[in-house]
Amino acid sequence: MRASNHLTGLLNFLSFLLSIPILGGGIWLSSRANNTDCLKFLQWPLIIIGVSIMVVSLAGFAGACYRNTFLMRLYLFAMFFVIAALLGFIIFAYVVTDKGSGRALVNRGYQDYYLEDYSGWLERRVASNSYWGKISSCIRDSKICNKLRRNFNGAPESADMFYQRKISSIQSGCCKPPTECDFVYGNETFWSPGGGTVSANPDCTRWSNDQEQLCYACDSCKAGVLAGVKKSWRRVSVINIVVLIILVILYVVAYAAFRNNKRIDNDEPYGEARMTKAQPSHFQL
């Protein structure tokens, strides 16, 4: 009869241990003196998630182990909203990342990214001037474009070698000009205007060989970020679906433990019939 209580207590103890590194990571981000704006943006969700899991897990653990009906009722109430919020986030993530992808190029291992291929809330959020300043600052501070550079026997890689590389969406959109600009390759982050037809793409004039500027102000950079966010959110959504299934199972087990606690509080033997006859039978064996 108490197996559901023991199982609920064990599962919540494990989830409590999981909340410790999550909460610690959020506190570490908030305490760093050289935080960038994007890291500051990430700290509070980590802290809130860690604290929520910790509090809910403690309530479920105490309620199951000590057969406290009030704590179990509180745990079930909180867990219901956690499950509903997680389900809502999964649906939201798939909706806002429904559109947009990279465009394949002839004789190129990477893809180009265009802002007009994306739409909806996420595109407006990332492309807004106020928010883009924080994101571009984060990309610049991460030195992700410097990581593109390769040397072979002391010499930089050739254009043909670079063209066949598979690079991330952010590196493609932010660290080089769009391919249609027809710039001449110098190295991974240094490109010169070619002598061909000038493209109407405004990113061609936004490109700068200044290593602090590059294409951070380009629409292609914003599109590359959107592509990276889409890929990350889709991966996270798969994990969240697995977590959601586990939480639903935990909720069912916890509800059984809650029913068990109520039986004990009411001194009800397990399996006792709740209905009795209004009048006893006249026939007795």
User: pLDDT tens digits, residue range 68-84?
Assistant: 667 777 777 887 887 88
Q: What integer pLDDT is reported at residue 6 of this predicted model?
A: 67
Helix (H, G, I), strand (E, B) or coil at 111: strand
Domain ranges of the chain: 1-99+229-264, 103-225
Where is 190: in which H helix or E strand? strand 190-192
What's the whole-number mean pLDDT along residues 193-217?
87
Helix (H, G, I), strand (E, B) or coil at 95: helix
CA distance 75 to 63: 8
Say if pTM beats, i.e. exceeds, 0.85.
no
> Tens of pLDDT along 129-145?
888 988 888 888 888 99
CA distance 197 to 194: 8
Q: What integer pLDDT is reported at residue 1 of this predicted model?
A: 44
Alpha helices in 36-168 (DSSP H): 37-65, 69-96, 121-127, 129-142, 159-163
CA distance 285 to 283: 7
Q: What integer pLDDT is reported at residue 59 of this predicted model?
A: 74
Residue 229 makes CB contacts below 8 A (sequence gap 6+) with 97, 122, 126
> Tens of pLDDT along 210-251?
999 999 999 999 999 999 888 877 877 777 787 778 778 877
